[in-house]
Structure 1
Amino acid sequence: MEMNYLAILVAALSSFIVGFIWYNPKVFGKIWMNEIGMTEEKAKQGNMAKIFGLTFIFALMFAFMMPTITIHQIGAVQLAGGNDNDQALITFLQAHGEKFRDFKHGALHGFIAGLFLALPIIATNSLFEQKSWKYTLVTAGYWVVVMTIMGAIICGWK
């Protein structure tokens, strides 16, 4: 089963679109800035090339792992040891190759992954960093939405 690298790229870019909306001052941006003590002046002092460049690399890494979370057929290939020539695998993929390969199914798995992976990681860090629940919910909420959209793009785009 081949990776759809264009879908992975678009999924990674989707995190920027969600971030642009999510962290807009009219949505959750002011809450987030207040909770971390960020000011407009301090934000402008950041190295934007570094911030956005590394953010894109991290988003690509994240999107690269989403197919294993959202596409069941990849699990079948992995169970066969990655051997695309295995006759049992070929038969399985011919019978079930397109089942559960749609945007809705990918969004469901992305949402579940966000809820059960991103939320606990961010919440645990927030507890030890003594961050507020507002911060935790804004930050984890962003990742749940991003993972939902990434899952939809990667699973549904054939």
Structure 2
Amino acid sequence: MPFNFYAVLVASLVTLVVGFVWYSPKVFGNIWMKETGMTEEKAKQSNLVKVFGLTIFYSFMLAFVVLPNLVVHQMGAFGMVEGNVNDPAYIEFMKAHSNAFRTFKHGALHGFIAGLCFALPITAINSLFEQKSWRYILINAGYWIVSMTIMGAIICGWK
């Protein structure tokens, strides 16, 4: 199965772009800051190289390891032959189904489902124990749902 490394790299940057918009003061930034107790002064004390570097690294993990298995159905066949692309059954399967469901729309759907079924519960569970508000939960989970929707679209649709 041809693997598009450029799609993974671009998808890895989605979290930064979505975060720039999502957490801007004109969207949810002011509400998020209030809910977290973050201040402008505290934000300026962050090690931005560390924050952005690790954000890209973790986003790459999502885009490279997790999301392809959720948004590209052909990854199941690839896994069944343990990566042996010379397996005759795999070759026949790919001849018949190599581009089945490989669209941006389909990837967005599965990315959205992944965000809704993984990011929301994980965010909510941690936040409930931290005694955070539902506004906080929905802002952060919403960010991940939107990010994973776009990432899924890129990974699945960009062949």
The interval holding the TM-score normalised by the smaller chain is over 0.9
Q: Deviations over 1:66-110 (max 9, x none)?
A: 111100001111012221111111111101111100100000000
Whether 2:94 is the aligned partner of 1:71: answer no
Q: Deviations over 1:3-44 (max 9, x none)?
A: 211100100111111000000011000111000000111101
Unaligned runs of 5+ in 1: none
Distance 1:15 1:110 in 2: 13
Distance 2:125 2:91 in 1: 42
Percent identity of equivalent pairs: 64
Runs of at least 4 residues off by over 3 Å: none
Distance 2:26 2:142 in 1: 16
Q: CA RMSD in A?
A: 0.8
Unaligned runs of 5+ in 2: none
Distance 1:14 1:72 in 2: 22
Distance 1:93 1:134 in 2: 45
| TM-score under structure 2 length normalisation | 0.97
Question: Relative to structure 2, which stretch is displaced further, 58-67 or 135-144?
Answer: 58-67
Q: Which residue of 1 aligns with 2:52?
A: 52
Whether 2:129 is the aligned partner of 1:128: answer yes
Q: Which residue of 2 aligns with 1:39?
A: 39
Q: Which residue of 1 aligns with 2:150?
A: 149
Distance 1:3 1:61 in 2: 15
Secondary structure at 2:26's aligned position in 1?
helix
Question: Relative to structure 2, which stretch is displaced further, 18-27 or 56-65?
Answer: 56-65
Distance 2:48 2:82 in 1: 42
Q: Which residue of 2 aligns with 1:119?
A: 120
